[in-house]
Chains A and B, each alone.
Chain A
Amino acid sequence: GAVVSQHPSWVICKSGTSVKIECRSLDFQATTMFWYRQFPKQSLMLMATSNEGSKATYEQGVEKDKFLINHASLTLSTLTVTSAHPEDSSFYICSAAGANEKLFFGSGTQLSVL
């Protein structure tokens, strides 16, 4: 199946700093990528939909100035958590839709904000 690479796998940062997470589709072009947040023992919560070359579409309640999304190419989308605080600590997962509209996921990033 298609491969989506996400890194870093985990990151620890100090409160107030910014963290960037990368999501790459390795063997296919993805015009649309999705960013999710997952709390322990809960399902995926869609944060935003990222379209190549245009602004991301954020779900209700997600702060666009807090979670900056850039989809500069057909194989790369980035999520930057700006001025991170402990409540932003979570597991972040990206996914990309291939030409057959199947959805493939990255391995996730565990963010811990101290």
Chain B
Amino acid sequence: EDQVTQSPEALRLQEGESSSLNCSYTVSGLRGLFWYRQDPGKGPEFLFTLYSAGEEKEKERLKATLTKKESFLHITAPKPEDSATYLCAVQGNNFNKFYFGSGTKLNVKP
């Protein structure tokens, strides 16, 4: 069964304290793994797509990596404005199916 598990559910960091969010997945034929950021009361905002194991993508303080079983979203020296819920989704062989994790709520304190 295709599924996505994110951990931890919540993460509190001090400003500047680097950490990583995990997304473990099981899917039939990975077409893509997506990371999104969601602020309260808003729709998810696209961050990255990773297509194959070993691939890495970076954007400002964020870096996403992918293996055959999981993806990590590394946050380097986070700032309070990085506080949000980060969602992971995978797309399998069925183009119309995107499986979402439950998200990690990140809180960065100044």
Q: Do A and B come from one complex?
A: yes
Q: Please give, as numbers and ranges, the residues of chain B lying within 8 Å of A97 by CB-CB distance.
A: 95
A contacts with B: majority SS: strand
Point out the residue from A1, A101, A110 that lies within 8 Å of B46, measured CB to CB.
A1
Q: Please give, as numbers and ranges, the residues of chain B lying within 8 Å of A93 by CB-CB distance.
A: 43-44
The stretch from A41-49, A65-73, A74-82 touching chain B is A41-49
B contacts with A: majority SS: strand
Cβ of A91 to closest chain B Cβ, rounded Å = 7
Residue A112 lies at the interface, judged by CB distance under 8 Å to chain B: no
Residue B42 lies at the interface, judged by CB distance under 8 Å to chain A: yes
Measured as residues with beta carbon below 8 angstroms from the partner, the interface class of chain B is 20 to 34
Q: Is A103 touching B34 in the complex (CB atoms < 8 A)? A: yes
A91 to B38, CA, bound (A): 13
Measured as residues with beta carbon below 8 angstroms from the partner, the interface class of chain A is 20 to 34
Residue A28 lies at the interface, judged by CB distance under 8 Å to chain B: no
Q: Please give, as numbers and ranges, the residues of chain A lying within 8 Å of B31 by CB-CB distance.
A: 101
Partner-A contacts on B (CB < 8 A): 31-32, 34, 36, 41-46, 49, 87, 89, 91, 95-96, 98, 100-103, 105
Partner-B contacts on A (CB < 8 A): 1, 4, 6, 32, 34, 41-44, 46, 49, 57, 91, 93, 95, 97, 101-108, 110
